[in-house]
Amino acid sequence: MQPTELIPQCFRQGAERMARAFGELDQVIVAAHVNPDGDAAGAVAAACHVLRSMGKEIMAYAQPGLPGYLDFFPMPVVVHTTLEHPPFTPRCALLLDCGEPDRLGRELAARLPGLVTVNIDHHLGSDGMGSAANWVEPRAAATAQLMAYVALAAGLPLTGDLATAVALGIITDTGGFCHGNTSADVLYLTAHMVEHGCDIALLRERLENTWSRGRLTLWGQLLQRARLERGGSVCFCPVYLEDLRKCGALKEDLEGFVEQLRRLRGVHVAAVLREDSPGSCKFSLRSYGSVDVRAAAARLGGGGHRNAAGGTVRSPMDAASVHLLDAIAAELDEEGVA
Ligand code: 5GP
Ligand code: MN
Give CB contacts under 8 A, 24+ apart, made by 288-294: 288/180, 288/262, 289/180, 290/335, 291/332, 291/335, 291/337, 292/331, 292/335, 293/269, 293/328, 293/331, 294/124, 294/125
For residue 329, pLDDT over 90 is answered with: yes
Say if ligand 1 is within 6 A of residue 312 CB: yes
Q: Which pTM value belongs to this model?
A: 0.93
Give CB contacts under 8 A, 24+ apart, made by 80-88: 82/107, 83/29, 83/107, 83/108, 83/111, 86/29, 86/59, 87/59, 88/27, 88/57, 88/59
Q: What is the rounded CA–CA span in Å between residue 74 and residue 51?
A: 16
**Atom 7 in ligand 1: residue holding the nearest Cα:** 309
Residue 42 Cα, ligand 2 centroid: separation in angstroms?
9
* Cβ(107)–Cβ(130) below 8 Å: no
Say if ligand 1 is within 6 A of residue 303 CB: yes
Residue 24 Cα, ligand 1 centroid: separation in angstroms?
30
pLDDT of residue 242: 97
pLDDT of residue 34: 96
Atom of ligand 1 nearest to the CA of 272: 2
Q: 183 by DSSP, 3-state: which? A: coil
The structural domains of the chain, with segments of one domain joined by +, span 3-209, 213-335
Can you name the CATH fold of 3-209? inorganic pyrophosphatase (n-terminal core) (3.90.1640)
Say if ligand 1 is within 6 A of residue 254 CB: no
Atom of ligand 1 nearest to the CA of 123: 10
Where residue 2 falls among pLDDT bands split at 50, 70, 90? confident
- Read off the pLDDT of residues 160-206 as tens digits, 9 standing for 90 and up: 999 999 999 999 999 999 988 999 999 999 999 999 999 999 999 99
Quickly count: other Cβ atoms within 10 Å of residue 292's Cβ. Answer: 22
Instruction: Please state which CATH class domain 213-335 belongs to.
Output: alpha beta
Ligand 1: residue of 98, 305, 312 to mutate (most ligand atoms within 8 A of CB) is 305
- Read off the pLDDT of residues 227-273 as tens digits, 9 standing for 90 and up: 999 999 999 999 999 999 999 999 999 999 999 999 999 999 999 99
Residue 188 Cα, ligand 2 centroid: separation in angstroms?
19
pLDDT of residue 338: 85
**Atom 22 in ligand 1: residue holding the nearest Cα:** 303
Where residue 138 falls among pLDDT bands split at 50, 70, 90? very high
**Atom 18 in ligand 1: residue holding the nearest Cα:** 311
Type of residue at 104:
L
Residue predicted with more confidence, 156 or 2: 156
Say if ligand 1 is within 6 A of residue 53 CB: no
Q: How far is CA 302 from CA 97, 113, 204, 213, 312, in A?
A: 15, 23, 29, 32, 7
Say if ligand 1 is within 6 A of residue 304 CB: yes
Atom of ligand 1 nearest to the CA of 35: 4
* Cβ(33)–Cβ(122) below 8 Å: no
| Closest listed ligand to the CA of 307 | 1
- Read off the pLDDT of residues 10-42 as tens digits, 9 standing for 90 and up: 999 999 999 999 999 999 999 999 999 999 999
Say if ligand 1 is within 6 A of residue 311 CB: yes
**Atom 12 in ligand 1: residue holding the nearest Cα:** 304
Residue 170 Cα, ligand 2 centroid: separation in angstroms?
8
Neighbours of ion ligand 2 (CB under 5 A): 39, 97, 143, 173
